[in-house]
Copies of this chain bind each other. A is one copy, B any other.
């Protein structure tokens, strides 16, 4: 059975300012110090799906940028342009239609473009098993991450172990519930109860199977997508896409499908996953010194502890501070406590409000 990779790269994340910018969102940054996150995503995925079967879905504004940064990994015909961001339901449905009608049915491995994975071999093992399940049972499969701590920044998946025909537990689980980002106290309860995993936003299923779910569960979206698909290969394809896509109701795959479909399966992954959702994730990509400081670029930490410094070229000197993030780029400096990392988006909001375009 054909295996496809679909990389969702539409995000314009703002919590990574000043590193991420409107013109250069997180997926295009090399925050790991190795390569751009989208390239690391592609290269991981290429271990499971043939490289020529990997597609990128992104906004028209980012298409050229993706081409440039992924240099040679992918041809323009495999970059699907969303005329407008309409949520993951539209994005994934569009990709499924494109694959089914232009390339033939197959198992889609749908991945966010801007996550970090430490153990790539472990990731590939789980993903290959997901492909088997999706191919053999027409199942909707998602990857849940074994929780490492009571995270409040992730959604959770409650699942139950399933029994095989031989009465022994299967490696996959049956999803019972998707839960929103919980308060700390609740997250702690999830960890002690067990049976909860982090929602990674990775999905594996056949194009034909997911589109059948759209037909049943999201008929309005399905109708718009069908209208678009009927123009595939015709001269008016681009025009139709540009006219119809923006009409698709905004929805996420989680609300629209995952929480409502029957018998969704989950494989638990434990391969050092992180969604790189805020600047404090930078600590993952450097070595901590004796006082827990993680410094990328030239730095001098004096009487300073558990602080992250990221320099694009200049010396960052800190004296007598703790649990701080100090990020330097050619045009901006950000100083923020690690536990306020979520509020970095306020800077972007403020810059927008003040019309400081050049810093956005």
A336-B359 contact given A302-B343, A303-B343, A350-B302, CB 8 Å threshold: no
Q: Determine if A332 and B317 form an interchain contact, defined as CB atoms under 8 angstroms apart.
A: yes
Q: Hey, which chain B residues are within 8 Å of A316, CB to CB?
A: 332-333, 335
**Is A337 interfacial (CB 8 A cutoff)?**
yes
A328-B333 contact given A302-B347, A303-B343, A350-B300, CB 8 Å threshold: yes
Q: Determine if B333 and A321 form an interchain contact, defined as CB atoms under 8 angstroms apart.
A: no
Q: Determine if A326 and B317 form an interchain contact, defined as CB atoms under 8 angstroms apart.
A: no
**Is A65 interfacial (CB 8 A cutoff)?**
no
Closest residue of chain B to A329 (Cβ to Cβ) is: B314
Q: Hey, which chain B residues are within 8 Å of A315, CB to CB?
A: 18, 331-333, 356, 359
**Is A346 interfacial (CB 8 A cutoff)?**
yes
Interface 1/0s, chain A 299-321, versus B by CB < 8 A?
01011000000010011111111
**How far apart are A87's CB and chain B's nearest CB, in angstroms?**
28
**Is A334 interfacial (CB 8 A cutoff)?**
yes
Closest residue of chain B to A354 (Cβ to Cβ) is: B300
Q: Determine if B321 and A351 form an interchain contact, defined as CB atoms under 8 angstroms apart.
A: no
The number of residues on chain A lying at the interface, defined by a beta carbon within 8 Å of a beta carbon of chain B, is: 35
**How far apart are A358's CB and chain B's nearest CB, in angstroms?**
9
Which of A302, A317, A324 lies at the interface centre, i.e. has the most chain B CB atoms within 10 A of its CB? Answer: A317
Chain copies in the assembly? 2
With A and B bound together, what is the CA distance between A354 and B315 in angstroms? 13
**Is A344 interfacial (CB 8 A cutoff)?**
yes
**Is A247 interfacial (CB 8 A cutoff)?**
no
Q: Hey, which chain B residues are within 8 Å of A330, CB to CB?
A: 314
Q: Hey, which chain B residues are within 8 Å of A317, CB to CB?
A: 17-18, 332-335, 347
Q: Determine if B347 and A300 form an interchain contact, defined as CB atoms under 8 angstroms apart.
A: yes
Q: Determine if A321 and B336 form an interchain contact, defined as CB atoms under 8 angstroms apart.
A: yes
Q: Determine if A337 and B320 form an interchain contact, defined as CB atoms under 8 angstroms apart.
A: yes
Q: Hey, which chain B residues are within 8 Å of A359, CB to CB?
A: 315
Closest residue of chain B to A322 (Cβ to Cβ) is: B337
Q: 10 A-B contacts, Cβ less than 8 Å apart?
A: A300-B347, A302-B343, A302-B346, A315-B332, A316-B333, A316-B335, A317-B332, A319-B335, A319-B340, A320-B337
Extra A-B contacts (14), CB below 8 Å, given A316-B335, A324-B335, A326-B335: A300-B351, A300-B354, A302-B346, A302-B347, A314-B331, A314-B332, A315-B331, A317-B334, A319-B335, A319-B343, A320-B343, A321-B336, A328-B333, A335-B335
